Each structure stands twice: as structure tokens, then as C-alpha cells.
Structure 1
């Protein structure tokens, strides 16, 4: 019988986690509202990378990851060859060797970061280090189509429980910063269309999040700023707000956060967890309604790095890659060369537009 652990309670329902070690040694975790007891149908057993290496950029003052093996990652397979679908009897083995599941999380076969990342072997022409960390793939549903709106509130709450479970595990394994994210749409480089996201866990805190942590430590407070930004609020649910920050860099950029400061989603009350999950779906719907299509966006979750929990304020941030229906927002020479963004839509206008959807 499969080993299932209860890891959380969501709205009076237990959340179960089944841990399975794949034939190639990678971990697979299945999350659901009922214990997962299905037998293995068939397993993939391919070679698996153990990360790349880090190199220091002396001018940007940041570490970047170099992982040449990712050039060979899966690229736009047909629906029949979907590696994130469940494995069916008589069919080809996929990443999930079971006939059905609710939410699945497994180690990325083409990982950039790995707990057993090797020491760099390149010539010491710049400062280098091991690419310690982890990269997970998070599959939202066994269905081959869907999004954060269509999967429904129960599935979003289950996804949130899975994220929190992985935050706790990855921090306990020595990672310093953990970021769940979703890339949606071919404009942002999506090569697998099955509804899914990823989690990157870093051994070093990225430069952007060092700056965020410093800003919070120096006294900036979303908790006190939000009440003054009423013109920028798009929607609210359960003491959680979705808003277009007045300093947004992308047209129609939206952040989702609790009005009460929390370091990460592990600190949410039941009401806040419900509100946060609901707004993830609501913002996806609003974007798709306004742009008239499945909106290409990047969604990133920014929880506290290790050591900044006393001041950091958790946010989820949507960055749409569209500036109007039918028009892509390209990051062109000025933005790429200077880091200074030119924003085509005033954030207060974006908030008003999205409120009407």
C-alpha cells in the first residue's frame, strides 16, 4: 500500500501527500484530497542532469546560472506526447507513472539547480560556484487544458497547500530563497501547454530579493501603503487585495497580497488563503476577458528569503506580456540595456480597466 501523509487541512478537508521515487531517482509528490493509492503503470528511466554552475557578473553584482544541458529540453510536444499527462495503460510512459492524480510535483529532468550540483569545471576566468538548489515542476491537473481560473477554487487551495509544503521542505534542505512561478503563453517561452508551473529554490538569495529585503528592513511597508492606494486596487477577497502598484513596470502588472503582513503563504489564515487562491483565479479571468485571449503572463511568488521573515511582506506578482488586446509588450533595447522600463499604461488606468472586467 502506498504511503500517504496528511500535510494540511483545507476548509475541513485533509490534504494528503504521496511520495514516490521515480525509476530515474527523482522525487515525485502527489497531493490530493484523498489518499493516492493507484499502482505504477509504467516508468521513464532517462538520464537526469544534476544542475549547471553559477558565474558571478561583476557589473550587475549578481550570480547567474549556466546550464548547457537545458538546450535539449522538451520542446512543444504534441498532445499525444504530453510528458505531464498521466500514464495510461498501453500508452507511453510520462513523467507521472500513474493513471490519474490531482496535483503532482516532481524534480525537473532538465534542472538548472540541484542539491548535488557538481563543482564548476570551467577555467577560473570569473568567479564561479556550485549551482546548489532545486527545480520542481508543478502540474495543476491531469487534464491537458486549463488555467488558474478554470481549475476552480478547491484545486487552487490544493495547489497552495502543495506550494507551502515545498517551501518548508526546500528551506529545511538549506535553500535560502524559494520561488514558485508560472509562465503562460508562447510569448514568454512556454514549450509545454499542459497546465503547470515550476518552483526554483536557490542556495543564494537573488539580487532582486536582497534589494526587496533591504527595502522592507529599511521601513517600506505594503501594510501601511495599501490603504492609501485605493485607486490602484482591482479586487479584494478575504483580507487579500489584487492591485496595480503605482510603480508597476509592465502594463497591467498586478500584485496579490494580504493586507496584513505575512512573510509567506505559510502564515496565511484560513480566510487569507481562501482569498489569495480566489484572486489568482479572478485575475487570470480578468486578464483573459480584457485581452480577449489566453493571456501570456509571468506569475511569480515572492516570499521572504531566509533571515528576513520579521519585515518581508509576501506578494504574488503577475506580469502580462501584452500592452493592449493584440499587442505584445516587447522588452526592447532601452529596457534590456539600462534596466529602465518605459511603461505604456498608467497603473491607475490599468487598475480601473481591470476592475471593469
Structure 2
């Protein structure tokens, strides 16, 4: 809490508007944010440096730590606890002394003493002015508003209760209603602060849940990618093996057919040469030489008789290497997550063990 170090208390004889404004500003700095009253034994909530009444701080601490044993309640030493500042929500870890282990703010206590002395002196002098400035009834201009109508929930005057519109209503002294409602407001603030701490604890738990979800999601993504990659590796290996089988038979068939082509080509070349020799022998004019050449050609042609060999019908077909992947493709398209499994891949005991329908994971 910040204080104006240059504050000078008003002179004993002065009670002007400027002095009253200064006192009001100072008073706002000396109000407890819980009970809305002047600090009583203010303590310092380290390290945020905000101030609270010791009683208010202890009430909040007891509400947040119901199992904490206060001083003198038992011979067993009390354990520490956590305390959240109602002004800035900063969390402070307290030792076994609880709130009583916090330092008292002596500077604030001294300022409060000076303030109360000056304020009491000022109030005595301005009491008459305050009485003159007190709210007056609109219907009875000479009557002060000093009672509270419980039925209409509005402040009013005594004349309104006796002769006016509130004569049939239930009323109470304005001061008692003021004190009661102020006490209720203070209690409500303490309850609200405790509720805020509870909500903050729930938020912290949900933040931890978010972190756990992120970690589990990341781990499951990695597992899924690894398993899909292993399937892809299996497909790649199988593809390489099957392609190798096709390539092997392709090479064998090509080698056989090309050997036939080479053999028939050699025979064709020999036959062409024989035809050329026969044509030349047709031009031989001497009968003896013609018959001699004819006998030689006939011998060569009979010696080189060739049987034409060719591949069987459909030998060139490779259709027997056809593979049906429809079932595998359908299985991959329908591949889904297994139900009843936890984050670690084990069966969830709460979901498993029944007669549930098999999922894709168990099906394939």
C-alpha cells in the first residue's frame, strides 16, 4: 500500500474543505479491503506489500485452510498453509504460525494513530455542520432521515412512519440497519474471497488437465505415426518383392524368346546363302559340273534342315501376376481407433469386458 510520505496533518484550528478532502484521501488508504473498516493491527502480506487486518487475514486463512490448527487450540504444532491476497491474488505460503507469523505494519499503525487523533479533533468541530447537512425528508423538510422502512427497503423519517406513507410498514433505526448490513457485506466479502480461492484451485486443476491432454495427445500422435509408418514399410518391402518376381520372369521370358530369334536368324542367314549358291549353279552350262554342284547343295540343304520353334500361345502374357487389393484397401479405409483402450494402449477396465460389437481394430 502506498502512502504519501509528505502528508502533514491539518492544524488544530483548521477544518476547511481542503483539510477534509485530505483526511478523506488518507482514510481511503487506511481502509481494509475485506471489512471496509479502519485497519486493526494491520499485517503485511509479503511479497506483494498489501495490508489487511490481522483478524480479516486470519478469517480468510481459516476459511481456505479449515484443517489448520490455530495457536493455543492444541498442543500439537500446527502446519503451515497457503494464503491468497484478496487485493492482487498473489499466493503466499505461510509457516506453522499462520497469519500470526506475518509482520505487523508499524508504519501503518502509527499513521492510523495520527489520523485518529486528528480525525477526532476534526469531527468535534464539524459535528454541527454534519448535523445540518444530514439528509432531510422530502415530504417533511424539517425532519431528518433517521429510520429505515423494512417493508419498502428505503430510508425515511419518523413523521412518515407516524403520519405518512410508511405508517403501516415495519421500520428499524437507521443506525442498526446500517451496522447490520455493513456486517453482512463484510461477511459476504470474506465468503466471496474464499470462493474465489476455491475457483482458482479448480482453474489450476483444469490447467493441469489441459497439460495432461496435450501430453497424451502428443504421445498418441507419435504412436499412430510410428504404426502407420511401419505399415508403409511393410508395403514397400512387399512391393519390392513382388516387383522383383515380375522382373525375374520378364527377364527369363525375354531371354528365351531372344534366343529363339537369334537361332532362327542364324538359320535364315544360312538359307539365304544356300539360295544364292543355288542361283549361281543354275547358270552352270556344263552338265557334269551342274550335277556336281546340285548334289552338294542338296546335301547341304538336307544337312541344315531346320525345325521352326516358337513360344506357346499366350506365352507373352503376364496377367498371372495380377493382385487383388480391394480387401486391403477397404480395410485401410475403415481403419479406426480401438474403443476401450487407455492412453497406454491397454484395455480400459471400465469400458472393456462386455459383449460390445467388435471394432475395426479387433476385426483386422
Task: Specify which structure has the higher proportion of helix.
Answer: 2
Q: Which has the higher contact order (CA 8 A, sep 6+)?
A: 1
TM-score normalised according to structure 1 size: 0.18
Larger radius of gyration: 2
Task: Specify which structure has the higher proportion of strand.
Answer: 1
